[in-house]
């Protein structure tokens, strides 16, 4: 009996050891070292070719980037389940896309779903797989040749290859910025390429090149599949080595090859710009994959991958002499009489490269907030309706095609609540972003799929239909008017009811007291009185001139960007507004624009966008007149309004955390509130104080509700791509 137990233990230990060696450590024995790798996708000149069973034919990538985030979860939780992926794959293919792209190793359920979706599909979805370099590694003190950078990058590349070939087990937390689980399905037959790396930080590239500038052969790499040209830099030599070892590993272990690209974007593009542009945008490095060559042993070939958006950094918008970029005639780059710098830039890329160019990220956001304007054609970073998003995507797609690119991937498939944007992140609790939908943060709304609050529908739709409003929602009265209020994970909703209400001629004011710290009981400009200190005023003054204003001491832009916008320090004693200042001001957002370059004035203040301005229209997705940016709409004897939480200085509505008094803390700190005081006011010359009533607030903590909705932009893109496929 003892011998039997010993033998069983030995067998179990051997099995565990072999399992660990094979599935976790990546050990293998090449039983067929003489076999030549095969490929079903390869590059030829500036084209990507796919084998159709008889011959290779041109293949256009029409893809979409799929993230790993969903409401109530961080992207690094990889919490999307198999059923959701199966549904999304169906939607994506029905849209007319043929490819999805992921940035890093996902949870194992993604690959299970992808395998099941494709295994009996005559028209499978293809996959471009990425390898992530996490932010800490790239933004730390390390250069790209440091072991923690290069060796981790290589190790993660090998892990990715084992994952797609169904030969990997990853323990939770074992791989940074990646999923975990058992990867036992071989999906490699549907993988058409790899994009290695991320949007490189130019300082990382420059630091690496500087560190090894005097190191012999640091810019020289000669491998079996990749090698560097004489012009290569040390950073490019690192990329060549990574690419070479990736192809070597897959060729030896799996006897197959896929096309390879190295991620890039305009910040590290291969072009030199005039000194004033490089200085302003702090462009200090270039990555040029033309300096990375391939040998005949690499059957699949190399392509160039770029993330290019129409609005930033739009270097060409500030160019006066285009001849230095080889443009003798700009006529082909005009759209509707306006210079299309996006198409021109894409043409620069395709003219520069001898390999296929894929625009692996492009898109615009349907967020209410904005971070950047496209100066020429208005394809902005934010504050675009869903229909405008669809048109902008198609216009960009036309530019991509006209420039001769071999394909593209729209960013992104789904909205992601956890995201942040530079011009709003200072105003919110970054530890709690997945738990509410921040419509002011444009980065959250690049998706073609929306996550709307509510399990099946939202608690309110601003659409001129008052069916969802009940008597229990009434919170205040004034004369013959009543004010109702409700809220969800995205908006605070208000309804004002009065018989005979005329939205074009009547003027209605809703004072709100949010914080007990500041506010004014008097609105000087409108000569209004309130029975308590008010922080915000919703001013309904017709369809074109309605807005939300904030008491100047509680203006978040002033507290953080006064020097950029107003050209004074808000925290100097003489510039601090009184706690009870009767002045109410517009609510603006700062935009990242090169105003000094535009006006040839290094002291020019930053551009702002009035985000407190309210848009009239129907915000119900079921309406044929749907405008996703609509803030208010009138019906028969009433008007509905919806305001995003951040517009009212909420840092985290899930816990009902708002901004404290900025000038007590030199910046933004949070306090928790349990109620908003709301009322109705009139600018009728009568001295009667408006009476405000408390409205109880209960946060939802981590328990978010949401439902999926395909945006209008999905159907706009579907109409084009499906028609192309059918023809």
The model's pLDDT over 221-242, given as tens digits with 9 standing for 90+, comes to 999 999 999 999 999 999 999 9
Asked if 66 and 175 sit in the same domain, the reply is: yes
- pLDDT at residue 164 is higher than 60: yes
Q: Partners of 169 in the beta sheet? A: 182
Asked if 517 and 624 sit in the same domain, the reply is: yes
- pLDDT at residue 19 is higher than 60: no
**Contact (CB, 8 A) for 177 and 170:** no
**Sign of the four-CA dihedral 106, 107, 113, 115:** positive
**Contact (CB, 8 A) for 39 and 258:** yes
Asked if 618 and 718 sit in the same domain, the reply is: no
Report if residue 15 sits inside a domain: no
Cα-flanking dihedrals φ and ψ of residue 658, to 5°? -120, 175
> Which pLDDT score is estimated for 11?
59
Distance CA 321, CA 333 (A): 15
Kindly state the helix (H) or strand (E) to which residue 548 belongs, with its residue range. strand 547-551
Report if residue 243 sits inside a domain: yes
Asked if 714 and 662 sit in the same domain, the reply is: no
**Contact (CB, 8 A) for 369 and 334:** no
Average of per-residue pLDDT values in the chain: 94
State percent of the chain over pLDDT 90.
87
Q: What angle do CA 114, 117, 123 make, to 5 degrees?
A: 110
Report if residue 3 sits inside a domain: no
Asked if 398 and 491 sit in the same domain, the reply is: no
Report if residue 87 sits inside a domain: yes
Q: What is the mean pLDDT of residues 42-46?
A: 98
Strands (E), 363-490: 370-372, 381-382, 407-410, 449-453, 474-478, 481-487
State percent of the chain over pLDDT 70.
95
- pLDDT at residue 27 is higher than 70: no
Asked if 334 and 312 sit in the same domain, the reply is: yes
Distance of CA 698 to the CA centre of its chain: 29
Asked if 478 and 425 sit in the same domain, the reply is: no
Distance CA 343, CA 328 (A): 15
Q: Partners of 130 in the beta sheet? A: 195
Report if residue 10 sits inside a domain: no
Q: What is the mean pLDDT of residues 104-112?
A: 98
**CA proximity to 408, closest of 447, 363, 372:** 363
Write the CATH number for 130: 3.20.20.80
Asked if 68 and 217 sit in the same domain, the reply is: yes
The model's pLDDT over 196-222, given as tens digits with 9 standing for 90+, comes to 999 999 999 999 999 999 999 999 999
- pLDDT at residue 45 is higher than 80: yes
pLDDT-based confidence at 135, cuts 50/70/90?
A: confident
Give start and end residues of each alpha helix (H) in 516-602: 556-565, 595-599
Report if residue 328 sits inside a domain: yes
Which positions ≥6 away from 378 have C-beta within 8 Å?
none
> Which pLDDT score is estimated for 245?
98
pLDDT-based confidence at 173, cuts 50/70/90?
A: confident
pLDDT-based confidence at 602, cuts 50/70/90?
A: confident
> Which pLDDT score is estimated for 136?
84
pLDDT-based confidence at 320, cuts 50/70/90?
A: confident
Asked if 693 and 719 sit in the same domain, the reply is: no
pLDDT-based confidence at 36, cuts 50/70/90?
A: confident
* Domain range for 260: 21-448+709-726
The number of folded domains in the chain is 2
Report if residue 41 sits inside a domain: yes
Distance CA 435, CA 71 (A): 7
Asked if 293 and 357 sit in the same domain, the reply is: yes
């Amino acid at each position: 009996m003892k011998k039997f137990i010993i033998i069983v233990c030995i067998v179990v230990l051997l099995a565990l050891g072999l399992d660990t060696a094979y599935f976790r450590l990546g050990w293998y024995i090449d039983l067929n070292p003489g076999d030549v790798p095969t490929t079903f996708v390869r590059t030829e000149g500036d084209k990507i070719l796919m084998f159709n069973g008889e011959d290779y034919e041109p293949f256009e990538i029409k893809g979409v980037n799929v993230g790993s985030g969903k409401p109530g979860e961080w992207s690094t939780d990889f919490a999307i389940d198999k059923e959701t992926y199966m549904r999304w794959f169906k939607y994506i293919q029905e849209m007319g896309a043929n490819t999805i792209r992921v940035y890093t190793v996902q949870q194992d359920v993604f690959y299970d779903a992808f395998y099941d979706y494709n295994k009996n599909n005559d028209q499978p979805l293809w996959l471009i797989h990425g390898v992530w370099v996490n932010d800490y590694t790239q933004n730390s003190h390390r250069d790209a040749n440091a072991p923690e950078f290069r060796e981790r990058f290589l190790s993660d590349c090998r892990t990715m290859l084992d994952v797609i070939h169904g030969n990997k087990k990853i323990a939770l937390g074992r791989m940074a910025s990646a999923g975990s689980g058992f990867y036992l399905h071989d999906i490699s037959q549907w993988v058409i390429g790899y994009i290695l790396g991320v949007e490189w930080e130019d300082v990382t590239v420059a630091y690496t090149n500087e560190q090894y500038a005097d190191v012999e052969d640091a810019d020289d790499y000669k491998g079996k599949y990749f090698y560097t040209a004489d012009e290569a830099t040390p950073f490019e030599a690192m990329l060549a080595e990574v690419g070479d070892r990736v192809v070597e590993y897959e060729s030896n272990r799996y006897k197959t090859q896929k096309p390879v690209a190295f991620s890039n974007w305009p910040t590290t593009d291969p072009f030199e710009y005039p000194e004033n542009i490089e200085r302003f945008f702090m462009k200090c490095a270039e990555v040029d994959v033309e300096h990375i060559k391939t040998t005949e042993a690499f059957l699949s070939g190399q392509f160039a991958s770029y993330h290019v958006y129409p609005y930033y950094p739009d270097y060409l918008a500030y160019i006066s002499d285009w001849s230095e970029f080889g443009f003798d005639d700009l006529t082909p780059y005009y759209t509707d009489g306006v210079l299309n710098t996006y198409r021109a830039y894409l043409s620069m890329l395709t003219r520069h490269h001898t390999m296929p160019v894929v625009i692996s990220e492009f898109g615009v956001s349907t967020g209410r907030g904005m971070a950047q304007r496209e100066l020429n054609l208005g394809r902005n970073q934010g504050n675009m309706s869903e229909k405008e998003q669809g048109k902008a995507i198609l216009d960009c797609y036309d530019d991509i095609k006209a420039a001769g690119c071999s394909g593209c991937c729209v960013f992104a498939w789904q909205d992601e609540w956890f995201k942040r944007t530079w011009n709003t992140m200072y105003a919110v609790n970054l530890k709690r972003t997945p738990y509410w939908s921040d419509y002011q943060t444009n980065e959250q709304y690049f998706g073609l799929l929306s996550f709307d609050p509510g399990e099946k529908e939202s608690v309110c739709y601003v659409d001129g239909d008052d069916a969802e409003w009940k008597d229990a929602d009434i919170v205040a009265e004034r004369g013959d008017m009543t004010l109702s209020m409700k809220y969800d994970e995205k908006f605070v909703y208000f309804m004002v009811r009065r018989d005979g209400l005329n939205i074009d001629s009547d003027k209605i004011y809703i004072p709100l007291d949010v914080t007990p710290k500041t506010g004014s009981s008097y609105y000087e400009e409108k000569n209004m009185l309130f029975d308590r200190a008010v922080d915000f005023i919703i001013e309904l003054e017709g369809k074109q001139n309605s807005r939300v204003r904030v008491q100047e001491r509680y203006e978040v832009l002033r507290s953080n960007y006064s020097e950029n916008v107003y050209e004074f320090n808000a925290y100097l004693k003489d510039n601090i507004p009184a706690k009870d200042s009767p002045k109410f001001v517009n609510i603006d957002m700062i935009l990242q624009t090169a105003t000094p370059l535009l006006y040839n004035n290094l002291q020019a203040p930053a551009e702002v966008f009035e985000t407190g301005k309210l848009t009239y229209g129907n915000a119900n997705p079921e309406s044929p007149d749907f405008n996703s940016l609509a803030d208010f709409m009138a019906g028969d004897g009433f008007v509905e309004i919806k305001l995003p939480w951040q517009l009212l200085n909420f840092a985290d509505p899930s816990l009902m955390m708002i901004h404290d008094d900025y000038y007590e803390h030199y910046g933004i700190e949070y306090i928790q509130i349990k109620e908003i005081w709301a009322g109705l006011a009139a600018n009728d010359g009568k001295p009667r104080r408006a009476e405000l009533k408390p409205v109880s607030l209960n946060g939802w903590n981590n328990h978010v509700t949401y439902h999926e909705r395909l945006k209008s932009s999905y159907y706009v893109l579907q109409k084009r791509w499906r028609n192309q496929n059918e023809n």
